[in-house]
Chain A
Amino acid sequence: MAQIRIKNVAKRFGAYQALHSINLDVADQEFMVLLGASGCGKTTLLRIIAGLETPSEGEVWIGDRRVDHLAPRDRGIAMVFQNYAVFPHLTVFENIAFGLRMAKMDNALVTKRVERTAELMHIEQLLKRYSGELSGGQRQRVAVARALAMEPDVILMDEPLSNLDALLRLEMRAELKGVLAESKTTAIYVTHDQVEAMSLADRISVMHQGRIVQAASPIEVYRNPAARFVASFIGNPPMNFLPATSHGNGQWSVAGQTFNGPATQKPLEFAIRPEDLSPADQGLKATARVVEPLGAHLLVTCDVEGASFRAVLDSDLTVRPGDILTLAPQPDRIRWFDPETTQAVA
């Protein structure tokens, strides 16, 4: 059992506060993705869990042991590094065996374990090679195999796919998901790529400026962003926002149209995903500015009362710049945000 508990973890580098009182629980065998833009603190948090960085405050628990005072090697973790860190002076075999040898495992067992892991990662034919003789993708596989060979309670991954080209990344992503699900390991995975996060995660923790803004399932993060930041970060293109004024009784006026919304008097922001819009007789009046045919659909950037507004429409539609569209939002997909607190309002 290796659930991870992070209690009030903060990290300061001099005067710079990299992490503000982080609380996070990761269940046993859960695949948790830390998602955020660069500099949001996700890698720092991962390194604190790994023990490569010490927290300024707070506690880290793995299983029922408090580990924040322990060396990395005493934490029962394995890690995949962004630049792989495959040792160049050792063969692939010795790289995968490194942790096992450090644990003084019996030689015959090491061979068995290395061969099995190599097979799992489809690198059994590379065992005698050196890192310099491998492609980026193969090196990546070695790095994952080295971590899996440890049969760790927890596997930590720091942007492991970011150095691969797009096609390879897609392939490795699917493979990684399968392999990790089978290994029944708790995984924490850092990425700035939201597609990667969505496709891999059981749960995503969206991080922003040293805080976890939302920790929820991918679909929840996508459908019900807890904060304006999440709404504007997740989704490609991200959510559209328009100012809304209350008529009272939960009636809201948005760009001349009336919508049902929360029963509050404060000014709110109306939000809708570009793909939740469709042309209709009644709806928001939008002037098309840029039309981008993307094959599967049509991405139209328009103007709604001076605000930039995007819609993902059926690619069969013919839209030209300057056309005036009437776009109806799908009612159950409309979300509301408080511009003051930036939090979602139900």
Chain B
Amino acid sequence: MNARTLPYLLILPVTLFLCVFFIYPFVLVAQLAFTQGDGFTLANFREVVGYWKFPISLKNTLLLAAIVVPIQLALSLAMATMVSKMEKGRDLVLYVWTIPLGISDLAAGIIWLAIFEQSGFLNSMMSGMGLIDKPISLLTYEHPWVIFIAIALAEIWRATAIMLVILVAGMGLIPKEYYEAAEVFGASPWKRFLKITLPMLRPSLQTALVLRVILAFEVFAVVIALGGSLFPVLMAETYAYQFDLLNSGAAAAIALIILAISIGFTLIILRLLRVPKGATI
């Protein structure tokens, strides 16, 4: 076999698979979004964007991402640093911390619902401690911020580990010698983190952040479980258009909007965390 053509031949099955099951449906969705009855139109987009719930769901989605992702980034960096410094029991700790990854997002939402609902753990605990006389309904339209906190907590609990795993792997790749050199040349532990760990972790940070941000824009099941329709987000709107209003064109349009936002943020993250030309990490 020709050594030049072999690699292409080997990636051919995957490429075909992706074309059939990703590119083709994507083209169909795009077609759906840009047509209404006959020919090209932006009517679907106009309809979707003009709907009163759209600005709210866009704001909610972005706000949730803006709060959750930075907290997850900080948490996962701290956790990864701790794990990397451990000599014994490292794997055990890592397994425990990644347990939430094994749970579907709907299940995660339900777990946090069990904590926050009227007969939930939080109410039982507070009444047990004598803080409240009778259970209070937390997840109602009267306390939108409680719903927001509950969703943010569930998201943080559920999906920090995916960043953690990527960052732990990335940190393991940084040679110990760089830390020793930095230490000898006067860098405190904090400075070593800033000047060695963070810059050398850029490729892993890119992957972790892109993955996490995209997931944040696709947030759905946790929101449905905890907030229902009280906390509209873009993905829930897509669902509503497709299955409640049976408007596939609008659903496709909003899906494309989410895709555009995801691509936009991916490009921003890649740009911000790019490795300077010539530098090798």
Identify the A interface with B (CB < 8 A). 50-52, 71-73, 77-79, 81, 83, 85, 87-90, 98-99, 102-103, 129-133, 146, 150
Chain A positions within 8 Å of B200 at CB level: 88-89
Q: Is the pair B184, A87 in contact by a Cβ cutoff of 8 Å? A: no
Within the complex, what minimum Cβ distance (angstroms) separates A107 from chain B? 16
Chain A positions within 8 Å of B175 at CB level: 83, 85
- Most A-side CB within 10 Å, residue of B175, B187, B279: B279
Assembly CA distance A80 to B152 (angstroms) = 48
Chain B positions within 8 Å of A52 at CB level: 180, 183-184
Chain A positions within 8 Å of B187 at CB level: 73, 98, 102
Q: Is the pair B281, A89 in contact by a Cβ cutoff of 8 Å? A: yes
Within the complex, what minimum Cβ distance (angstroms) separates A154 from chain B? 11
Within the complex, what minimum Cβ distance (angstroms) separates B195 from chain A? 8
The SS class assigned to the A binding surface is mixed
Q: Is the pair A150, B180 in contact by a Cβ cutoff of 8 Å? A: no
Q: Name 8 interchain pairs, CB-CB below 8 A, sorted by A.
A: A51-B184, A71-B183, A73-B185, A88-B281, A89-B276, A89-B281, A98-B195, A132-B278
Assembly CA distance A254 to B238 (angstroms) = 99
Q: Is the pair A130, B186 in contact by a Cβ cutoff of 8 Å? A: no
Name the contact of A78 in the complex, choosing from B182, B185, B276, B278 (C-beta under 8 A): B185
For B177-220 the 0/1 string (1 means CB < 8 A from A) is 11011111111100100011001101000000000000000000
Chain A positions within 8 Å of B183 at CB level: 51-52, 71-73
Name the contact of A85 in the complex, choosing from B181, B186, B281 (C-beta under 8 A): B181
Name the contact of B184 in the complex, choosing from A72, A89, A129 (C-beta under 8 A): A72
Q: Is the pair A132, B184 in contact by a Cβ cutoff of 8 Å? A: no
Within the complex, what minimum Cβ distance (angstroms) separates B148 from chain A? 38
In the complex with contacts A87-B196, A102-B191, A132-B280 CB distance below 8 A:
yes
In the complex with contacts A81-B177, A81-B180, A85-B177, A99-B280 CB distance below 8 A:
no
Assembly CA distance A129 to B191 (angstroms) = 23
Assembly CA distance A73 to B186 (angstroms) = 4
Q: Is the pair B185, A89 in contact by a Cβ cutoff of 8 Å? A: no
In the complex, the 4 A-B pairs of residues with the closest C-beta atoms, listed nearest first: A132-B280, A102-B186, A99-B185, A85-B181
- Most B-side CB within 10 Å, residue of A73, A79, A103, A132: A73
Q: How many A-B residue pairs have CB under 8 A?
A: 72
In the complex with contacts A89-B199, A89-B275, A102-B186, A130-B280 CB distance below 8 A:
yes
Interface size class of B (residues with CB under 8 A): 20 to 34
Assembly CA distance A318 to B57 (angstroms) = 97
Beyond A71-B183, A87-B178, 4 additional pairs, beta carbon < 8 A: A78-B184, A81-B177, A89-B200, A90-B279
In the complex with contacts A73-B186, A150-B185, A85-B280 CB distance below 8 A:
no
Q: Is the pair B184, A77 in contact by a Cβ cutoff of 8 Å? A: yes
Chain B positions within 8 Å of A50 at CB level: 184
Q: Is the pair B177, A83 in contact by a Cβ cutoff of 8 Å? A: yes
Name the contact of A146 in the complex, choosing from B178, B185, B195 (C-beta under 8 A): B185
Which chain B residues (260-281) contact chain A, with CB distance < 8 Å?
Answer: 275-276, 278-281
Identify the B interface with A (CB < 8 A). 175, 177-178, 180-188, 191, 195-196, 199-200, 202, 275-276, 278-281
Within the complex, what minimum Cβ distance (angstroms) separates A308 from chain B? 41
Q: Is the pair A132, B279 in contact by a Cβ cutoff of 8 Å? A: yes
Q: Is the pair A79, B182 in contact by a Cβ cutoff of 8 Å? A: no
Assembly CA distance A21 to B178 (angstroms) = 30
Within the complex, what minimum Cβ distance (angstroms) separates A315 from chain B? 45
Within the complex, what minimum Cβ distance (angstroms) separates A270 from chain B? 46
Chain B positions within 8 Å of A83 at CB level: 175, 177
Assembly CA distance A129 to B281 (angstroms) = 14
Assembly CA distance A50 to B188 (angstroms) = 15
Within the complex, what minimum Cβ distance (angstroms) separates B119 from chain A? 53
Q: Is the pair A98, B185 in contact by a Cβ cutoff of 8 Å? A: yes
Chain A positions within 8 Å of B191 at CB level: 102
Q: Is the pair B279, A73 in contact by a Cβ cutoff of 8 Å? A: no
Within the complex, what minimum Cβ distance (angstroms) separates A49 from chain B? 11
- Most A-side CB within 10 Å, residue of B180, B185, B280: B185
Name the contact of A130 in the complex, choosing from B177, B180, B182, B276 (C-beta under 8 A): B276
Assembly CA distance A71 to B280 (angstroms) = 29
In the complex with contacts A73-B188, A78-B185, A85-B278 CB distance below 8 A:
no
Q: Is the pair B184, A98 in contact by a Cβ cutoff of 8 Å? A: no
Name the contact of B186 in the complex, choosing from A88, A90, A99, A131 (C-beta under 8 A): A99
Assembly CA distance A272 to B165 (angstroms) = 63
Chain B positions within 8 Å of A133 at CB level: 278
Chain B positions within 8 Å of A89 at CB level: 199-200, 202, 275-276, 279, 281
Q: Is the pair A79, B278 in contact by a Cβ cutoff of 8 Å? A: no
Chain B positions within 8 Å of A103 at CB level: 186
Assembly CA distance A344 to B278 (angstroms) = 57
Name the contact of A88 in the complex, choosing from B180, B184, B195, B280 (C-beta under 8 A): B280
Assembly CA distance A88 to B177 (angstroms) = 12
Chain B positions within 8 Å of A87 at CB level: 178, 181-182, 196
Assembly CA distance A23 to B191 (angstroms) = 35
Chain B positions within 8 Å of A132 at CB level: 278-280
